[in-house]
Amino acid sequence: MDLHSRRVLPTFGSHYGSRFAGKSGQIKVYSQLPNATLDNVANLSDFCGVFVADKWLGNTDYRQAIFTRTPGVSRPFSFVVQMIDNGQMFDGGNWRFEDSPIRGPYFGSVYQHVHGITAFEPWLAAVAAFPAAVLEGAFQQMPSSWRSGDTEAAFEKLLGQLMRRRDRVSDWIYECHALATNPFPNWT
């Protein structure tokens, strides 16, 4: 793994990895775009969807994303955004929820198209109807070494919290909108 100043081998065991967004040397990947360029992002509304997920899942980090230049998506040269770095869901490894309206939004003008709570649909409805069986199934598919000891009881507690949180996500979005640093400047 490439760290800031050195390369290290991963420790033994199961790890999560993700694929690089482009082909090295062929597709440019940007960690941010100037606000004036955001109109060229084909899936800009995905920021609203991931904001809903971040609030529901208790992301305690600021949203990170990458942009890739994709010819011919909606204009001759467009960008596509992909959301990255979900390591602070459930407050990272703490498996708790410290809800704060200032946590979660992406920095930049990606929410200019938000004129109200309806901009967060259909994601709010999907969270409200999210079945517990999906999460239970994901837990059962984890490596058994990740599910040993107290992990099963902690997961059951986490699952219960997630199910209770489903109907509160829109409240947390309204709280974010009420901040002096409102990330939704065109909300009417």
The yes-or-no verdict on residue 25 having pLDDT over 70 is no
Q: Could you read off the pLDDT of 31-77 as tens digits, one per residue?
A: 889 999 998 899 999 999 999 999 999 998 888 899 988 766 666 66
pLDDT above 90 covers a percentage of the chain that reads: 44
| pLDDT at residue 111 in the model | 96
| pLDDT at residue 74 in the model | 64
DSSP states of 7-43? B-PPPSS-------SS-TTTS-EES---GGGGGGBTT
Q: Could you read off the pLDDT of 91-132 as tens digits, one per residue?
A: 877 888 888 888 878 888 999 999 999 999 999 999 999 999
Domain residue extents for the chain: 29-177
* Confidence label for 171 from pLDDT (cuts 50, 70 and 90): very high
Number of continuous H segments (helices) and E segments (strands) in the chain: 5, 3
Structure tokens at 157: 């507690």
Q: How many Cβ atoms are within 10 Å of 56's Cβ, its own excluded?
A: 23
Q: What is the DSSP letter of 2?
A: B
User: In a 10 Å sphere around its CB, with 0-12 CB exposed, 13-18 middle and 19+ buried, how is residue 130 labelled?
Assistant: middle
Average pLDDT over residues 6-29: 73
Angle between helices 151-165 and 132-141 (to 10 degrees): 160
